[in-house]
């Protein structure tokens, strides 16, 4: 939203958010607790969460420790034991725990549908109270459904934009790119001035599935078609990666680390250190760059000839496992965790987007969060991962492992995307 947003535009924004503040206020009077099968006695919930600290610190653990301390003070019979893992490891850690027969009670990870298909998760309406459910942003809540039943609870959201270093752009005499050709020409100008990473392209396995999707969408492609079938080896996707291989990588415009070896975290750190001209970023990078005095510009990642049809949106997911029968206690903890105070604290800590109506309206009206308004505005029209597909977790892992080789010296966009696509189709057929 902008400073001069009209009342009508604000009304449209509120309608997107799913329910009006009045409905939420009325809902809050209901006060229903989450339900489950375990009652009485002391319970210790195991929570596994992902690490969001862009610099490898312990701020995520500190956040959860604060939430848990406040929760336990109000809920004497429930303890919460939190483990935080790097994004490279957290999905695998949870999978290993589930396979070993010792699932966590609560997991905050990247995908939920495969566990839902195996009947390992509580439906959301057995966990969250009615007011908390009603306060979730409707498009994100709907993305948490499998066969029209909600199992994934959106935890935090973001949209992605093309970030550029304004100072380096000014020094090179280039403007924010509006086409792929302008990305190429800007990167060449930056390289000529000795910029270490003219365009940082992190296709290492930390979050390669995100960078992949952004480039697919920029050329009108994506992971799936309009009916939800995988289209990983579509003509548009092959074209996008052929351009990356031949142009950005082939002309040595991506820096000293091969894209297949470059993870997101070091790419973001390099941007925050003033070593990167351009890269695809999410909101938390703003804070990281600001601490080092890097002046940031942002535009949507363009397509070959202009504005892309869609940008990428991301929601990370919270879920409750049924194995230990702690549904009531899980619900009580999640109701507490999704209070405005907690949701806004986490979003504010990492410059991410809240997933609730009331917290989003608060952020959208607060000039202190003005830098995040472009991301909030991009969220309604963004495309999310196909998280409702039970095969997505395995397909995503396969993309992380293979996609970096596509843009390497011996890369084969047609062959590799074809292989990934066939494996995805086989996973889908096995659902």
Expressed in angstroms, the distance from the first to the final Cα of the chain is: 41
pTM of the full predicted structure?
0.74
Look at residue 3 in the predicted model and tell me its pLDDT: 38
Look at residue 29 in the predicted model and tell me its pLDDT: 36
Look at residue 168 in the predicted model and tell me its pLDDT: 98
Look at residue 30 in the predicted model and tell me its pLDDT: 37
Name the residue among 419, 426, 406, 410 with its Cα closest to residue 239. Answer: 406
- Residue 142 corresponds to which tokens in the numbers above? 């709907």
Q: What percent of the chain is modeled with pLDDT above 90?
A: 73
CA distance 253 to 410: 17
Look at residue 10 in the predicted model and tell me its pLDDT: 34
What are the residue ranges spanned by the domains of the chain? 7-158+315-378, 161-311+391-429
CA distance 301 to 219: 10
Look at residue 303 in the predicted model and tell me its pLDDT: 96
- Residue 235 corresponds to which tokens in the numbers above? 């003509």
pLDDT tens digits, 78-119: 999 999 999 889 999 999 999 999 999 999 998 899 999 999
CA distance 10 to 392: 35
| Alpha-helical regions (H) of 351-383 | 357-365, 373-378
User: What is the mean pLDDT for each group of 10 consecutive residues in the chain (431 residues)?
Assistant: 36 38 38 42 93 88 98 96 94 96 96 93 98 92 90 94 97 98 98 98 94 97 92 98 98 97 96 98 89 95 93 93 98 98 93 92 92 84 86 91 95 97 90 63
- Longest Cα separation, the chain: 68
Are the folds of 7-158+315-378 and 161-311+391-429 the same? yes
Look at residue 427 in the predicted model and tell me its pLDDT: 87
Look at residue 80 in the predicted model and tell me its pLDDT: 98
Please give the order of strands across the beta sheet that includes 296-299: 197-199, 276-281, 161-165, 296-299
Kindly write down the DSSP assignment for every residue of 140-201, as one continuous string: HHHHTEETTEE-PEEEEEEE-EEEEEHHHHHHHT----SSHHHHHHHHHHHHHTT-SEEE--
CA distance 185 to 333: 52
Q: Name the CATH architecture for the domain at 161-311+391-429.
A: 3-Layer(aba) Sandwich (3.40)
CATH of 7-158+315-378, picked from 2.60.40.1120, 3.40.50.300, 1.25.40.10, 3.40.190.10, is 3.40.190.10
């Amino acid at each position: 939203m902008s400073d001069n947003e009209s009342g009508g535009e604000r009304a449209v924004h509120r309608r997107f958010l799913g329910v009006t503040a009045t409905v939420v206020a009325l809902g809050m009077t209901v006060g229903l607790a989450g339900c489950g099968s375990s009652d009485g006695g002391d319970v210790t919930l195991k929570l596994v969460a992902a690490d969001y600290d862009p610099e490898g610190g312990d701020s995520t653990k500190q956040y959860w420790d604060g939430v848990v301390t406040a929760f336990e003070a109000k809920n004497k019979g429930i303890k919460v034991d939190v483990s935080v893992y790097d994004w490279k490891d957290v999905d695998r850690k949870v999978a290993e725990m589930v396979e070993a027969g010792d699932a966590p009670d609560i997991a905050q990870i990247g995908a939920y549908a495969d566990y839902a298909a195996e009947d390992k998760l509580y439906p959301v309406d057995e966990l969250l109270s009615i007011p908390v459910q009603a306060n979730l942003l409707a498009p994100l809540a709907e993305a948490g459904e499998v066969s029209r039943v909600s199992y994934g609870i959106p935890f935090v959201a973001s949209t992605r934009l093309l970030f550029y270093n304004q100072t380096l752009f000014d020094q090179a005499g280039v403007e924010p790119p509006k086409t792929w050709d302008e990305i190429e020409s800007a990167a060449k100008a930056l390289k000529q001035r000795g910029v270490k990473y003219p365009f940082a392209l992190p296709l290492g396995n930390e979050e390669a599935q995100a960078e992949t999707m952004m480039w697919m969408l920029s050329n009108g492609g994506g992971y799936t078609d309009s009916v939800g079938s995988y289209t990983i080896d579509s003509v548009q996707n092959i074209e996008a990666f052929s351009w990356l291989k031949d142009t950005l990588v082939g002309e040595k415009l991506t820096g000293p680390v091969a894209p297949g070896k470059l993870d997101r975290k070091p790419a973001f750190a390099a941007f925050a250190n003033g070593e990167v001209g351009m890269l695809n970023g999410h909101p938390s990078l703003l804070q990281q760059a600001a601490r080092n005095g890097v002046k940031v510009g942002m535009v949507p990642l363009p397509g070959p000839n202009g504005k892309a049809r869609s940008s990428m949106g991301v929601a990370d997911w919270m879920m409750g496992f049924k194995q230990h029968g702690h549904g009531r206690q899980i619900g009580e903890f999640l109701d507490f965790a999704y209070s405005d105070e907690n949701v806004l604290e986490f979003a504010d800590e990492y410059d991410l987007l809240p997933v609730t109506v009331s917290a989003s309206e608060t952020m959208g009206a607060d000039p202190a969060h003005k830098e995040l308004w472009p991301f909030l505005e991009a969220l309604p029209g963004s495309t999310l991962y196909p998280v409702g597909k039970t095969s997505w977790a395995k397909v995503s892992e396969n993309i992380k492992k293979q996609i970096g080789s596509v843009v390497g010296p011996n890369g084969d966009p047609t062959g590799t995307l074809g292989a990934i696509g066939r494996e995805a189709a086989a996973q889908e057929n096995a659902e």
